[in-house]
Structure 1
Amino acid sequence: MKYRFLGIFLCLSGLLSVHNTAKAQLQSPSQFLGYELGSQWTPHHKVMDYVDHLAEESPMAQAETYGESYEGRNLKLMYVSSEENMDRLEEIRQNNLRRVGLINGKADDDETAIIWLSYNVHGNEPSSSEAALETLYELLRADNPETKEWLDNTVVIIDPMLNPDGRTRYTNWYRQSAGEEPNARLDAREHHEPWPGGRTNHYYFDLNRDWAWLTQKESWLRLQKYQQWMPHIHVDFHEQGYDAPYYFAPAAEPFHEAITDWQQDFQYTIGKNNASYFDENDWLYFTGEIFDLFYPSYGDTYPIFNGAIGMTYEQGGHSRAGLAIKKVEGDTLTLHDRLIHHKVSGLATIETASENAGKLVEQFSSYYNNSRNEPEGEYKTYVIKRDNSTDKIQSLLTLLDHHKITYGKASDSRSVQGYNYQTGETERVEVTEEDYLVSAYQPKSVLARIFFEPRPQLVDSVTYDITAWEQHYAFGLDGYALKERLDVEPAPKPQKEINNTEAGAPYAYLASWKDLSDVRLLSALLKENIQIRYSEKYFEVDGASYDRGTLIITRRDNKDYTGDFDRTIQQIANEHKEQLKAVPTGLVEKGPDFGSSSVRYLDEPRVALLVGRGTSSNGVGEVWHFFDQQINYPLTMLRTNYFLDVDLNNYDVLILPPGSYSDQINEKRWEVIREWIHSGGRLIALQSANAMLAGKDGFELKRISPPSNDSSSISVVESFGMQQRENISDFNAGSIYKITMDPTHPLAFGYDDPYFSLKLDADAYAFLEKGWNIGIAEENAHMSGFIGYRAKEDLENTLTFGVQPMGSGSVVYMIDNPLFRAFWHNGKLLFGNALFMLDGK
C-alpha cells in the first residue's frame, strides 16, 4: 500500500503540530523550543534536549549518548521503533550481528529492517539537524498511524548532529552577522561565511571523508556504534549550492565494482518513492549525477562496502542560504523549505524500507553469506610481511580491528604467485608462518578488498575524489596480494619487547628513527628539555647497527639536567613503548663516533603555521592535528591578516599550508621571509603553496608548464558536450606514485628507496638546479589510481620532495602533502624529518 503521508503531517505554509496534548505530553519541536522550527537555528544543546524529551515521553524512543566532540559537545543517537520492538531492541541488534557473522550463532527469521539516518556531518549544511527533529516527531506522535505501521517492522536510528563543533561555529557566526529579519540578498554579509567556515570539525577535518580512516574522534566514536548495529540502509543528509534542486539516489557513476546489482537497484527503488512525493509537490530534484560511489570513506560508500544501501541526500542551501536567500529564478529559499524537503525524503526512505523489509533483510543476509563463502574480487589473500616495522603493523591491524576485519598468520610457509606491492609486478613470492594474512573469506570481505586491492578499477574516470588509498602504501608496508586462498590461523597483533630499566650510568641512549612513534618519542623528550643528537650516517656500536637518523642522547649533553636523567628517559620511552639501547661508549666500531661532525645537535624548533584567509582550512587542520593530537608538540598559528606584523625571528620553522593566498603576502614581506631564511630559518611549503614560490625571486623551484591542448582537433559537438571527458586527460584527483628517494639526505631519514606517495594533482615541477632533489617521480612511477594520460606524461621525471639551501637556512618543497587527511601514515615521518632533521640543509 502506498501512503500519502504528506497530506497528514505536512503543511507547506508552516510546521503546525496537531495533536491532543491532554492525551500525551509529547511536544512538537516548535512547542518544546518556543519558536517555529525553521525560523532560527536550533543550538546544539537544545537539539539534544529535545531528543531527550522524546525519549522520556515516548515508549517508542530511546536516546543514547555515545561520546563527546573535541570541544566537549554531546554526540547522541536516537532509537525509534514500535513498543514491541523497543522491548526487544537488544535481541534485534544481536540477531543482525549473527546475520553478518560478527557474533556466533544462527540468525533467526526476524525481518526487522534497520535504517540509520545521519544529519549535519558538515557543520555549515545545517538544515538537516532541524529536519531530524521534525522527522523524529513525525515518527513518534500518536496521531500518525502511517509511521506507526512502518515502525512495526523497522528500527530507525537517528544521529541528529554528527558535527556539533562545526555546526556551532557556523550558527554562532550567523547569529552575530544577521539582523532581526533575514536578508535574502546574496550580497548581505550573512551569506558570506568567513574562514575557516563551519563545514569541518574542530581540527578542520571533513568528517565525511573520514569514515574509513577514523583519524578524528567523532568518526571513531560513531563507528563503534555503527559496528554494533550494521544497518541495512544508511542515509547521509547534506546540502549543496543554494540554486541546486534536491538530489537523491540513485547515485552517479563511477560505481566501485564491489557494489552489487541489488544495492544499485534498491537505490533506484528508494529514489522512485522519493520522486513520487517530490512530484506531488512540484519540487525540483535530480538523480544520477555528480555524487559517485567509489572513494570508500564517505557516509554513503562506507555503508555500501558494509552491505548496506548507502545514500547521500543533498538539499540546496549550504552556508550561503542562511535563513532565507533569493534564488536566481526569483524564488526565496527558506530554512523551512530546506528542512521540509529533508524530512520528506527521510520519511519516504523509511516507508520504502518498511514496504521491502523482508527483501532488505534477505539480501543483506545473502551479502554476508557470499562474503564469508564466495567472496568477489581477484585476490583472496593479502599478506603483510612480518619483517616490517612492528609499529606500522600494529597501526594497520588496529585500524582493521576498528572495522572488524579479521586477520591472522599463515599456517605454513610456502612459495606462491602474488602481486608485489613494492614492485607492482606479479611474481613468485615467499609467505612465511610469521607473516600476517587478511583473508577474503570473512564477514568483512568487501571492506578488506577495498582496503587492499592494488588497483581498484573505475567504471567511469570522471570521479569526485581520490582514486587510490591502498593500505600497504599508506602505512609503508611490504606485502603481497594473492589470488590463492591461504589458511589463516588467528593471531594477535605483534608486540614489541620493551624493557627500559638500564641500571648504572651508560654513556648514551640510542633510539631508532623509523616511523611516527619515534617522532612522538622525540617530541616528548624535547618537551622534557632533554638534549638530543642524531647521526647523519650509518654506524655500528656495541655489536649492533644503526641507521641514519638514529637519536643519540648522551650524558655529557645533559650534564645540567636537574632531574633524574636516566629514570626520566627510561620512563618516557616506556610510556611511548619505544625500546632504547644503552651503550657504554661513544667510540663506534663503524661509522662516525658520537663526537663527530656527522652527529648533529638537534635544536628544539619553534614552529609557526600560516592560517587564515586564502589558506586551505583542511590543509591547516592536517598540520594542526599532526602537532596537537599526533606528536603533542607546540605549534603557533599565525593569521594572514596580521602576518605582516609578525617578527619571524621568534620562529625557526614556518609552514605554508596548501591554499591560494599569494595576495596576502606582499613583496616586502617576501623579502623579510627571504632574509629570515638566510639567517637560518626553515620554510616548509605543502602542496599548492609551492605554486606561490615557483619562479619567485630567490626560490629555485620552477613549474613545468603542461602542453596547451589543441582544441582545433575537437569537433564542434565534442568541444562542449565532451569537454569534461577531454579535460580529464589532464586530471589527477589522487593516485599513488612510486617516488625514488635519496636516503642519504636528512629529509629521507628512516625511508628505504622507494617511498609511495599520494599525488593529489597534476602540478609538475622541474628538478632543482641548485639544491637537493630528494624525492623524484621517474618514468613509469604511477602505481595505482586513475590519472589522465597527459597528466601522467607531465609528471614523469619531476620533483616531489626537494630542499633548497638558502644562506644558513633552507626551503623544503613538499609537492605532495604527506599529511593529507591524516591517513597517509607513511608520510608523517617525512614531515617529522622536515621539522627536526634538516638544520639548514
Structure 2
Amino acid sequence: MNKFLLSLCLLSGFLLSAQQLKSPSEFLGYELGTEFTRHHEVVDYYEYLAKEVPKRVKLTVYGQTNERRPLLLVFVSSEENMANLEDIRTEHVKNTQGTGTNSKAIVWLSYNVHGNESVSTEASMKTIYELLTKKSAYLEDAVVIIDPCINPDGRDRYSNWYNQYKNNPHQVDPNSKEHHEGWWNGRSNHYMFDLNRDWAWLTQVESQQRIKVYNEWLPHVHVDFHEQGVDNPYYFAPAAEPYHEVITDFQRNFQVTLGKNHAKYFDANGWFYFTKEIFDLFYPSYGDTYPTYNGAIGMTYEQGGSGRAGLGIITKIGDTLTLKDRIAHHFTTGLSTVEVSSKNADKLNTEFQKFYKNRNFKYNSYVLNGDKDKVDALKSLLDKHKIEYGMGSRGSVKGFEYNTGGNGSMPVSENSLVVSTNQTKATLVKVLFEPKAKLSDSLTYDITAWSLPYAYGLDAIASTALISSSNKGGTNTSGVQSNISEGNYAHITDWNSMKDARFLADLLKNGIRVRTAHQPFSIEGDSFDRGSLIITKGDNQHKDNFIPILRNIAKKHNKSMISSSTGFVDSGKDFGSRYVQMVAKPKVAILSGGPTSTLRFGEIWHYFEQQLHYPLTVIDNEYVDKVDLDDYHILILPGGRYGDFFKEEKLGLLKNWVKKGGKIIAMGGAIDALDGEKGFSIKKKNTPKDTVNRPMPHKNAQREQIKKAITGAVFRTEVDNTHPLAYGYGKQYFTLKLGSNGYQYLENGNAVYLKNNATPVSGFAGSEAQKKVDGSLIFGVEQFGQGQVIYMVDNPLFRGFWENGKLFMANALFMVD
C-alpha cells in the first residue's frame, strides 16, 4: 500500500471514529474542566470506550481499594496490535532475557496517585480520546497502558469535598473555603498513606495489586502525573540530580529527548515550564524511580495547582489558573510522551534489552541471617517484586558486614537467605540491598537510606562473589507443629517479631489469658528470653474449649509452641513469680485531627488494623476534651505540630490520667508538647552554637542549610534489651532517623539511644545535625506516678516499611507496664 492510500485509510478511520465516539465532555454532559468528575463517572467513560471500540480498547479491573472502588487499567492501541496484545507482551518480557522480538513501544501512563492532584484523571480521559481519534497514528507502533486513577479513595474524598464547599459559580479568590481543604485532605489513600512513596515497600492494597500487573508488562516508559504548588510552572523531564548510579546513559538521554519534545509544544503556546530541578531520581519507591530501576524511562510530570486550585484560582502574579489550563498541560505532555516513544520504538526495545544484559555491580550476592519470622517477612516482599532468592549451604561468607560497617565474615547455613544479582531483577536487587547508596548531590527530595537488611533487622554480608544457593522460589508457608495438649501446665513461645505480636493480639481478642517473662528462663531443656509468652492451664480454667482455641490460633499464625508439665523452671523465675506477669488487654485510643500529621496518624491506624489486627479508638482533637480518658489504658499521640494544643488545663488532665495508671505513647513532634517545662522529664539537647560569625553568599544558603538536616539516614543505636520496650531485640538496632531533633537521656528507662560520636551508617546527615543528635535518646520510658510515658523520637512505623521497628510499638502496647 502506497503512502497516499495509507494516509487515506488512516484519515477515513479517524473520521469514522470521531463520528462514532463521544468525547469526555459529550459523554459526561459538561465541558471537561468545568466540574470534577467523580470516580464512578470516570469508570463509566472508560467502560463506554471499551464497549464502543473493543478492537482498540481493552479495560481490566486489577483490584479494589479499601473503600471498594475499582482499580482500572486501560489498554489502547491499533486494531492489529490489540489483536496480538498477549504476543506483544510475551515478546517484550522476553527482552529481559535478550531473546524477545517485540518492536512496539510500551508506554504506561499513571494518573492521580495523589487524590487531590485531581487534574490528571480529567486529562487521562481527554488523552485517550485523542489517541483514539486525531492521534491514532501514534498507536501503530505503541501500546499505551492507562491507569486513570491510582488513588480513587483519595480522589473522591477531594472531589466530594470540593463539590460540597465550592462557591456557585466557583470563586477564584484563594481565601475562599473551596481552596482550603481540612486536616484529612484528598492526597492520601484510605489509610492516609502516600501511595507515591509505596512502589517498593508495597504496604498498601493499591500498590500490591498494581505491582502484579506492572511486573507482567515492565513498560519502556512510565509517567507519573502530579501537581505541585499553585504558583509553580509546569515541571517535566529531565530530572534533577541526584540520579542513582545504576541509571543508564540512555535513560538519562531519553529523558532529554522527551523533555525537548514537550518544550516544543509548550514554547508554541507560551506556557512556562522548568526541568532539572527539585525532582531527583534516587529514592526507590516513587512512580518514576521504581520503573527506572526496572528498565523504564521513569518520569514525574508536575502541574501547578493541587488541592488548592479548585476549578480556578488567582496566582501570586495575578493570573487565573483554571482546571482547563491544567488539563491542557497534562494532556500535552501525555500525548508528547506517546509520540516520542512511538517514533523511537526500535531504540526503546534495543536499549531495554541492554539494561537487563549489561551489569557491573560491586556486590554480586547478599547473604542474610536472623530470626526466621523476619526472613520470611523479607521473602514475602521479594516474592511480590519477583526477585529470586535461595537458601545457603553450610560454610562462611566474607564481604562488607552491615552490622559493623566494615569487612568481615559470617557463617552461612541452610537457614541463610541468599539474594544474588545473577537474575532478571539484578538492578532492583542492587538498589534495595546495597549498604550505602552513592549520592551525587546531598540536596535530595526524599530519604537517602533504605537498605533492606537494616529495615528488616537481619545480619548481612554483601559479597563480591556469586554465592551459590538452593531452593529458589517463594516463601516457605508450610505449617509448624505445636505440641499443645490437654493437661499440660503451660504452653510457651518466643517473642521476636511482628508475627509473635499478631499471635498475642489474637489470643487477647479471643479471651485467652497470657503471661510474659521479665527474666530469661529455661524449663525442661528449653531456654526462653525476656518477653516470651506463657499460657497456663490455671489462668484459663474459665475459658471453654481453651485448648482447641489455642491450637487454632497457633495454627492460624503458624506459631510453634512448647508445652510444659510444670511451672517449676530449671533456671530463672518460676511461673508464679512476680517476674512472670499477666499481659493486660489494653484499650487503646489515638488522637487525630488538628495537631497531628495525617501521614503519621495513618501509619499507626494501618499498623493496628492491617498489621497487628488489634482494635483502636480514634478520638478527634475537636472533641477530645469531652472524652473520659479513664475508659482507656493507652493514648497514642502521633507525630505532628502540636503548638499550644496542650494548654494548662488540658495538660493537667492528661498528667492526672497518667498518674492514675494511664500510658502515653508520644511520637516524633508530639514529644515537644510534653517537654520538661510542662512537667515531664523529656528535654531537648542543648547543642553548642557556632561561635564563628561570618557572612555567607546568598547562593550558598541552601547548601549551608542542609548541614542542619538529616534526610532519612540510618544510625546504629545501643539497645538495653533488658527493658520491656526492647524485648525481642539484640544489643543494637539500626534506626531510620528523619530529622535532627535530639533529646537528652532520661534518668532511667533509656531503652534505645545513640552514643556519643554517632555517625550514619547509610544515608546523608549534615554535620550540624549530627552534633544535635549525638548522644541522644531514641526510645525511652518515663515512670510517671502509676503510669508511663513512652517516648519514640524516631518513627518505627515510618511508611510501614521499617519492619524491624514494629516490635517496639507492640512492646509499648503489651510489655511496658
Query: Normalization by structure 2: what TM-score?
Result: 0.96
Deviations 1:601-637 (A, max 9, x none): 1111110100001210000000000011111111011
Asked if 1:63 is matched to 2:51, the reply is no
Aligned counterparts of 1:735 and 1:22: Cα–Cα separation in 2: 54
Partner in structure 2 of residue 823 of structure 1: 801
Partner in structure 1 of residue 749 of structure 2: 772
Partner in structure 2 of residue 694 of structure 1: 675
Partner in structure 2 of residue 106 of structure 1: 99
Partner in structure 1 of residue 718 of structure 2: 740
**Aligned runs of 1:82-101 on 2, under 5 Å?**
82-101=78-97
Partner in structure 1 of residue 20 of structure 2: 25
Asked if 1:396 is matched to 2:378, the reply is yes
Structure 2 residues not aligned, in runs of 5+: 1-12
**Aligned runs of 1:335-346 on 2, under 5 Å?**
335-346=323-334
Question: Which stretch of the first structure deviates more once superposed, 150-159 or 424-433?
Answer: 424-433
Aligned counterparts of 1:300 and 1:233: Cα–Cα separation in 2: 10
**Aligned runs of 1:680-829 on 2, under 5 Å?**
680-709=661-690, 712-715=693-696, 718=697, 720-769=698-747, 771-778=748-755, 779-829=757-807
Asked if 1:527 is matched to 2:509, the reply is yes
1:154 positional shift:
0.5
Residues 741 and 776 in structure 1, CA contact (< 8 A), matched pair in contact too? yes
Aligned residue among 107, 110, 119 for 2:111: 119
Aligned counterparts of 2:413 and 2:625: Cα–Cα separation in 1: 59
Aligned counterparts of 1:704 and 1:313: Cα–Cα separation in 2: 41
Asked if 1:281 is matched to 2:273, the reply is no
Distance 1:488 1:511, change over 3 A: closer
Aligned counterparts of 1:773 and 1:83: Cα–Cα separation in 2: 67
Aligned residue among 596, 608, 613 for 2:589: 608
For residue 138 of structure 1, give the secondary structure of its aligned residue in structure 2.
helix
Aligned counterparts of 2:692 and 2:258: Cα–Cα separation in 1: 42
Asked if 1:40 is matched to 2:32, the reply is no
Distance 1:612 1:711, change over 3 A: farther
Matched AA of 1:64: T
Asked if 1:358 is matched to 2:346, the reply is yes
Aligned counterparts of 1:575 and 1:47: Cα–Cα separation in 2: 40
Partner in structure 2 of residue 321 of structure 1: 309
**Aligned runs of 1:404-419 on 2, under 5 Å?**
404-410=386-392, 413-419=394-400
1:449 positional shift:
0.5
Aligned counterparts of 2:397 and 2:112: Cα–Cα separation in 1: 48
Aligned counterparts of 1:70 and 1:780: Cα–Cα separation in 2: 42
> How many residue pairs align between the two structures?
802
1:217 positional shift:
0.1
1:501 positional shift:
5.5
Matched AA of 1:477: L
Distance 1:539 1:415, change over 3 A: closer
Residues 390 and 496 in structure 1, CA contact (< 8 A), matched pair in contact too? no
Residues 644 and 665 in structure 1, CA contact (< 8 A), matched pair in contact too? no
Residues 205 and 821 in structure 1, CA contact (< 8 A), matched pair in contact too? yes
Residues 521 and 528 in structure 2, CA contact (< 8 A), matched pair in contact too? yes
Partner in structure 2 of residue 10 of structure 1: none
Aligned counterparts of 1:784 and 1:23: Cα–Cα separation in 2: 56
Percent identity at matched positions? 47
Partner in structure 1 of residue 7 of structure 2: none
Question: Which stretch of the first structure deviates more once superposed, 703-712 or 800-809?
Answer: 703-712
Aligned residue among 565, 576, 596 for 2:577: 596
1:511 positional shift:
2.0
Aligned counterparts of 1:588 and 1:238: Cα–Cα separation in 2: 61
Aligned counterparts of 1:311 and 1:293: Cα–Cα separation in 2: 9
1:424 positional shift:
1.3
For residue 115 of structure 1, give the secondary structure of its aligned residue in structure 2.
strand
Deviations 1:122-178 (A, max 9, x none): 00100000000000100112xx1xx22211110000000000000111111111101
For residue 350 of structure 1, give the secondary structure of its aligned residue in structure 2.
helix
**Aligned runs of 1:4-19 on 2, under 5 Å?**
none
Residues 509 and 581 in structure 1, CA contact (< 8 A), matched pair in contact too? yes
Distance 1:349 1:20, change over 3 A: closer
1:355 positional shift:
1.2
Aligned counterparts of 2:352 and 2:478: Cα–Cα separation in 1: 40
Aligned residue among 452, 474, 481 for 2:462: 481
Partner in structure 2 of residue 467 of structure 1: 448
Aligned counterparts of 1:37 and 1:253: Cα–Cα separation in 2: 36
Residues 745 and 777 in structure 2, CA contact (< 8 A), matched pair in contact too? yes
Over the aligned positions, Cα root-mean-square deviation in angstroms equals 1.6
Structure 1 residues not aligned, in runs of 5+: 1-17
Distance 1:522 1:430, change over 3 A: closer
For residue 74 of structure 2, give the secondary structure of its aligned residue in structure 1.
strand
1:820 positional shift:
0.6
**Aligned runs of 1:183-194 on 2, under 5 Å?**
183-194=171-182
Residues 515 and 829 in structure 1, CA contact (< 8 A), matched pair in contact too? yes
Aligned counterparts of 2:221 and 2:759: Cα–Cα separation in 1: 40
Asked if 1:437 is matched to 2:418, the reply is yes
Deviations 1:783-808 (A, max 9, x none): 11111112123222111111100010
Deviations 1:691-715 (A, max 9, x none): 2212332211110144445673234
Residues 507 and 582 in structure 1, CA contact (< 8 A), matched pair in contact too? yes
Aligned counterparts of 1:816 and 1:513: Cα–Cα separation in 2: 22
Partner in structure 2 of residue 378 of structure 1: 362
1:764 positional shift:
0.6
Residues 758 and 775 in structure 2, CA contact (< 8 A), matched pair in contact too? no
Partner in structure 1 of residue 551 of structure 2: 570
Partner in structure 2 of residue 515 of structure 1: 497
Partner in structure 1 of residue 3 of structure 2: none
For residue 238 of structure 2, give the secondary structure of its aligned residue in structure 1.
coil
Partner in structure 1 of residue 290 of structure 2: 302
Matched AA of 2:765: I
Aligned counterparts of 2:255 and 2:406: Cα–Cα separation in 1: 38
